[in-house]
Amino acid sequence: MSFVSELKEDNMKPLVVLVSSFVIAIFVIKIVNKDYDFALSARIAMSIMLCFTAIGHFAFTKGMSMMIPQFIPYKETFVHLTGLFEILLAIGLLIPRLKVVSGWALIIFLVLMLPANIYASLNNVNYQKGTFDGNGLSYLWFRIPLQFLFIAWAYFSSIRFF
C-alpha cells in the first residue's frame, strides 16, 4: 500500500462511517416517519461516527497518549476521558433538548483536539501502532479539512438546522 493511500485510508475511516451512516439514516427515517429529516439523519450519523472514534480511545490508548504534549500529565486517563466524552456527546446529539448544547460542546471539543493532531503530525505519531513512524506533516493536509467538515456538520445538524 502506498504512503498516500495509507494516509487517506486512516483519515477516511471516520468520514466513511459518517457519510454511510447518514445515507442509511435518511432512508430508515423516511421509511419510519414517512418523511425526510436530514438534520436528524446527520445527528444520528455524527453520533455513530463519534462512537466509532471513541472506540479508538480505548483500542489505541498508548498511541493516542503519544499525541498529547509532554507537559500534560495523566495522558492515558485523559485519552479515556475524551473517549467517554465523545460517547456522551453522541448521546446528547440524539436528545432533542440537548442537541444544541451538545453541538456547541462538540464544536469546542473538535477545535480543542486540533492542536493534538498538529502535535502528533509534528512528532510523526502513529497512534494505531503507538510509534513515531507516522505520516508527519502530510497528515494535516487531510486531517485539518476533515476536522472543519466535522465542525460544519455538527453546526448545521444540531445548531442551525439545514
Of 30, 154, 20, which is closest to residue 93 (Cα–Cα)?
Answer: 154
pLDDT in tens, 12-59: 899 999 999 999 999 999 999 999 999 999 999 999 999 999 999 999
Residue 162 inside a domain? The answer is no
Domains in the chain, number = 1
pLDDT tens for each residue of 106-122 = 999 999 999 998 999 89
User: Does residue 108 belong to any structural domain of this protein?
Assistant: yes
Nearest to 90, CA basis, from 46, 127, 128: 46
Q: Residue 136 domain-assigned?
A: yes
Full domain range(s) for residue 53: 3-67+82-156
Asked whether residue 11 is assigned to any structural domain, the reply reads: yes
- In this prediction the pTM is 0.90
